[in-house]
């Protein structure tokens, strides 16, 4: 059998047996990725792709990081599994490391899950237990996971297959200066109107019935929306006024993506709990979790914790997490995200000057969204958000020229590995520039 025939057979096998998330299954011919190194992915035919979105905003250390791979292998030989009811050395190490990175002066306690959606579900259970209240508030333009619980917490159309969903979830509109739901282009006015709107909903729902407000400190896959200055601080004040627990979904923003350990530090707003996943192991092993500030965690000293999972604190994931956090520190990658921010801003400004299809490039740290429009003055999206049309041809064009960029509707999500070099950023923008030129034509 020829090599070409073998590769075709594997592709057919994948098409026949694997269900791919969020897309229609027929007629897909994606690359067969078999290897990764640094900022690059390689397919079975030897083609190379610069990973400009760190997978799904997750592979912060890049691909093939030896220290993390070695830690996983060593742990697999020593102990591959221990029930979560046992103590474990790697669990202790990783929980302590996350506590020390947390925004709380007295630290945190950590509950481990296998992913971000599960973590958000558990955070809500903890909040309900801590407050004795039932309702949970989330934003419309948000994503918190796709399983029935986390899918209900989600605000956009990926929640619809879960409807009617779990009870008690109340939604609100968060500010979005570029596409204001509050009919203004002034960021300060946007913030004021958004807070008035939020407080009115709290009043109608009954403040003493609301356990938590769950929010992404930067909206992630729904457009990389950075809130106006002061909004998160005023959300914090509102939650304090009504005894509502503030929960940050740091699944995408955590572990250096914004130039700080967590977005909480970048924006100087401290939540009561935060959830994490993705970057905690640089996506090398599935892992998520909930961090609870110590003054709240003592609640469970005398009361049973209302959750548990077979793979909570899995030793392989713990070893990967310990090695990942050590590598962030040794390689000074949180600081590197600030440098990447400056580089991305300069290059996006240049693209915006030269391509009328670029409406706005926004972001923080190594986390940017490129919004594409058909009319810059009217801010008309190139394809409607949550509509039936797609820009998949644009993202496929990038891929065909060696650049992987995650996209949803009219937004390209640029979130490279924190190890990316300046030369690799230059390479990515050369490809992106040429693709925008073809899109403009």
Claim to verify: residue 78 and residue 107 sit in the same structural domain: yes
- Of 330, 349, 368, the residue that ends a domain is 330
Claim to verify: residue 285 and residue 362 sit in the same structural domain: no
The CATH number of residue 339's host domain is: 3.90.1150.10
Claim to verify: residue 49 and residue 104 sit in the same structural domain: no
With H, G, I as helix, E, B as strand and everything else as coil, classify residue 370: strand
In a domain, 17, yes or no: no
In a domain, 73, yes or no: yes
In a domain, 5, yes or no: no
| Domain of 105, in residue numbers | 67-330
In a domain, 344, yes or no: yes
Claim to verify: residue 229 and residue 270 sit in the same structural domain: yes
The tens-digit pLDDT sequence of the chain (441 residues) is: 687 777 778 888 999 999 999 999 998 889 999 999 999 999 999 999 999 999 999 999 999 999 999 999 999 999 999 999 999 999 999 999 999 999 999 999 999 999 999 999 999 999 999 999 999 999 999 999 999 999 999 999 999 999 999 999 999 999 999 999 999 999 999 999 999 999 999 999 999 999 999 999 999 999 999 999 999 999 999 999 999 999 999 999 999 999 999 999 999 999 999 999 999 999 999 999 999 999 999 999 999 999 999 999 999 999 999 999 999 999 999 999 999 999 999 999 999 999 999 999 999 999 999 999 999 999 999 999 999 888 999 999 999 999 999 999 999 999 999 999 999 999 999 999 999 999 986
Claim to verify: residue 59 and residue 75 sit in the same structural domain: no
pLDDT of the residue at 28 = 87
In a domain, 57, yes or no: yes
In a domain, 9, yes or no: no
In a domain, 165, yes or no: yes
In angstroms, rounded to a whole number, what is the distance separating the alpha carbons of residues 276 and 253? 8
In a domain, 304, yes or no: yes
Contacts of 233 (CB under 8 A, 6+ apart): 267, 268, 269
pLDDT of the residue at 384 = 95
The CATH number of residue 86's host domain is: 3.40.640.10
In angstroms, rounded to a whole number, what is the distance separating the alpha carbons of residues 131 and 72? 38
With H, G, I as helix, E, B as strand and everything else as coil, classify residue 57: helix
- Of 288, 315, 330, the residue that ends a domain is 330
Claim to verify: residue 217 and residue 301 sit in the same structural domain: yes
DSSP notation for 127-186: HHHHHS--EEEEESS----SSHHHHHH--SGGGGGGTT-STTEEEEPPP-GGG-TTS-S-
Claim to verify: residue 198 and residue 50 sit in the same structural domain: no
In angstroms, rounded to a whole number, what is the distance separating the alpha carbons of residues 103 and 119? 18
In angstroms, rounded to a whole number, what is the distance separating the alpha carbons of residues 439 and 398? 11
* 59: phi then psi, degrees, rounded to nearest 5: -85, 70
Claim to verify: residue 311 and residue 178 sit in the same structural domain: yes
Claim to verify: residue 272 and residue 387 sit in the same structural domain: no
Q: Which of 291, 191, 277 is CA-nearest to residue 232? A: 191
Claim to verify: residue 121 and residue 263 sit in the same structural domain: yes
Claim to verify: residue 231 and residue 350 sit in the same structural domain: no
Claim to verify: residue 121 and residue 46 sit in the same structural domain: no
Number of domains in the chain: 2
- Of 330, 347, 372, the residue that ends a domain is 330
First-to-final CA distance of the chain: 44
């Amino acid at each position: 059998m020829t090599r070409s025939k073998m590769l075709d057979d594997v592709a057919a096998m994948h098409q026949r047996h694997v269900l791919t998330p969020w897309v229609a299954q027929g007629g897909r011919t994606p690359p067969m990725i078999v290897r990764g190194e640094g900022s690059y992915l390689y397919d079975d035919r030897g083609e190379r792709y610069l990973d400009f979105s760190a997978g799904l905003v997750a592979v912060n250390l890049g691909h093939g990081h030896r220290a993390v791979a070695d830690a996983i292998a060593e742990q697999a030989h020593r102990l591959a599994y221990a029930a979560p009811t046992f103590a474990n050395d790697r669990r202790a190490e990783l929980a302590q490391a996350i506590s020390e990175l947390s925004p709380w002066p007295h630290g945190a306690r950590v509950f481990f899950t296998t992913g971000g959606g599960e973590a958000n579900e558990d955070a809500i259970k903890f909040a309900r237990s801590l407050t004795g209240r039932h309702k949970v508030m989330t934003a419309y333009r948000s994503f918190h996971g796709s399983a029935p619980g986390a899918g209900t917490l989600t605000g956009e159309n990926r929640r619809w297959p879960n409807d009617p969903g779990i009870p008690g979830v109340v939604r609100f509109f968060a500010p979005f200066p570029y596409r204001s739901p509050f009919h203004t282009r002034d960021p300060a006015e946007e913030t004021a109107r958004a807070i008035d709107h939020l407080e009115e909903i709290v009043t109608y729902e009954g403040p003493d019935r609301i356990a938590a407000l769950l929010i992404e400190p930067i909206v992630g896959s729904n457009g990389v929306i950075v809130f106006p200055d002061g909004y998160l601080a005023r959300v914090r004040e509102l939650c304090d006024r009504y005894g509502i627990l503030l929960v940050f979904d740091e699944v995408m923003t955590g572990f250096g993506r914004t130039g700080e350990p967590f977005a909480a530090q970048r924006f100087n707003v401290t939540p009561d709990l935060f959830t994490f996943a993705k970057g905690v192991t640089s996506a090398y092993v599935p892992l998520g979790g909930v961090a609870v500030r110590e003054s709240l965690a003592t609640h469970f000293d005398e009361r049973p914790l209302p959750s548990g999972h077979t793979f909570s604190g899995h030793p392989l994931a713990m070893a990967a997490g310990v090695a990942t956090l050590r590598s962030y520190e040794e390689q000074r990658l949180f600081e590197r995200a600030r440098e990447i921010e400056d580089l991305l801003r300069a290059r996006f400004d240049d693209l915006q000057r030269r391509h009328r299809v670029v409406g706005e490039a926004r972001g923080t740290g190594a986390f940017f969204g490129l919004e594409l429009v058909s009319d810059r003055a009217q801010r008309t999206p190139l394809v409607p958000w949550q509509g039936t049309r797609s820009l998949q041809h644009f993202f496929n064009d990038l891929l065909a020229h060696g650049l992987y960029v995650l996209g949803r509707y009219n937004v390209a999500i640029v979130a490279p590995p924190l190890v990316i070099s300046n030369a690799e950023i230059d390479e990515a923008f050369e490809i992106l520039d040429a693709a925008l030129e073809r899109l403009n034509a």
